[in-house]
Amino acid sequence: MIEQLLALSPVIPYIVLVVAFVGLIKGADFFVDGAASMAKKLGIPSVIIGLTIVAMGTSAPEAAVSITAALDKSNGIALGNVIGSNLFNLLVVLGVCMLMTTVPTTKEILKRDFPWNIIATVAVILMVLDARISRIEGIILLVLFVSYIGYVVYKAIKNREVGDEDEVKNISWPKSIMLLVVGIVLIVLGGDLVVDSATSIARSWGVNDMLIGLTIVACGTSLPELVTSIVAARKGECDMAIGNVVGSNMFNLLFILGMTTTITPIVNIDLGAGILVDSILLLGFTVMMYLFSAHGVKWQKGKGAVSVVAYLVYLAYIIMRAFGIAF
């Protein structure tokens, strides 16, 4: 459909892409509000809501785009979206939060979530080495995801503290269900339109799907994490800000990549296109942000500036690489 519209006017796919991103963001917002309200009414602790539903909800656009791309056999966008979104989350979302306010890191995130992120990234790198991610490897990623979520929920229940339940909106059952359904519909439709329009734009510019996934799609689908974390940081909820980023990255690596490769295995990955380098860079930047967080809030604005600049340098590198300027 998008290809036919492109034949009429080359501007239309860009308009569709913007509209699709808006649908993804609003869909994620509705999904989080509806799901969190329903969880509260069912008596699920708010701490678990934050650790699971919010992190998964803000990553719903990445899930929609990547799963849709897998169904459409556009695996370059699916894989590039996961790697690109995680890089954006680490360097831009956390970097901007560090520039805005003090972002202390809890012991749980340092001892549990960051190490899990590093392990998951290493696992993906090892899987990519043979230029394919099989269905079995996708299932392994899903098993790791279930194990991680189970461990997080277990620790949350074991160590939970009484919190402010008013942090979750008190919405009626009918409205909660409506928000949940509308959110899912917007996410699914938005994901489908993003894949179609981004693919058309890539073809019109002669750019491969991997670059589109690493840049436009990755940044666009990471907007919920950016907005959520900035709002949380401004309100002094710094644990939520960094927890949202780390949790979303785990969701991207283990659930989204696991689900997409279980649906459609990724074969014949063009390692020469740089995805292996991007994965290794993701590992390096994850370790860098772990060290930044482990050393406390000293020089935090400087760390935030380094992170944002690092992303801009990386962005320039992959664009030049795509056009044969850098290798």
List pLDDT tens digits, range 224-265: 777 777 777 776 666 667 777 888 899 999 999 999 999 889
Q: How far apart are CA 29 and CA 269, in angstroms?
A: 34
Going by pLDDT thresholds of 50, 70 and 90, the confidence category of residue 5 is low
Least confident of 2-11, 173-182, 295-304: 2-11
The alpha-helical segments, DSSP class H, found in the chain are: 2-8, 12-41, 46-48, 55-58, 60-71, 75-88, 94-100, 107-108, 114-128, 135-159, 173-205, 209-212, 218-221, 223-234, 238-250, 257-263, 275-294, 300-322
Which pLDDT belongs to residue 163?
47
Which pLDDT belongs to residue 197?
84
Residue 179 forms part of a structural domain: yes
The whole domain housing 79 covers 2-322
Which pLDDT belongs to residue 302?
93
How far CA 43 is from CA of 11, 12, 49, in Å, comes to 49, 46, 11
Residue 64 forms part of a structural domain: yes
pTM summary value: 0.79
Going by pLDDT thresholds of 50, 70 and 90, the confidence category of residue 162 is very low
Number of alpha carbons in the 13 Å side-chain half-sphere of residue 18:
4
Q: How far apart are CA 257 and CA 265, in angstroms?
A: 10
Residue 327 forms part of a structural domain: no
Going by pLDDT thresholds of 50, 70 and 90, the confidence category of residue 1 is low
Which pLDDT belongs to residue 44?
66
- Using only C-alpha atoms, the chain has a radius of gyration, in whole angstroms, of 19
- pLDDT tens digits along 22-43: 888 888 778 778 877 877 777 7
CATH number of residue 265's parent domain: 1.20.1420.30
> What is the percent of the chain where pLDDT is above 90?
27
- Average pLDDT in the 206-227 region? 77
- Tokens at 119, concatenated: 């392990």
- Average pLDDT in the 91-108 region? 84
Domain count along the chain:
1
Residue 275 forms part of a structural domain: yes
Q: How far apart are CA 316 and CA 156, in angstroms?
A: 40
Q: Do 220 and 193 form a contact (C-beta atoms < 8 A)? A: no
- Other beta carbons within 10 angstroms of residue 154's beta carbon come to 10
- pLDDT tens digits along 294-304: 887 778 899 99
Residue 219 forms part of a structural domain: yes
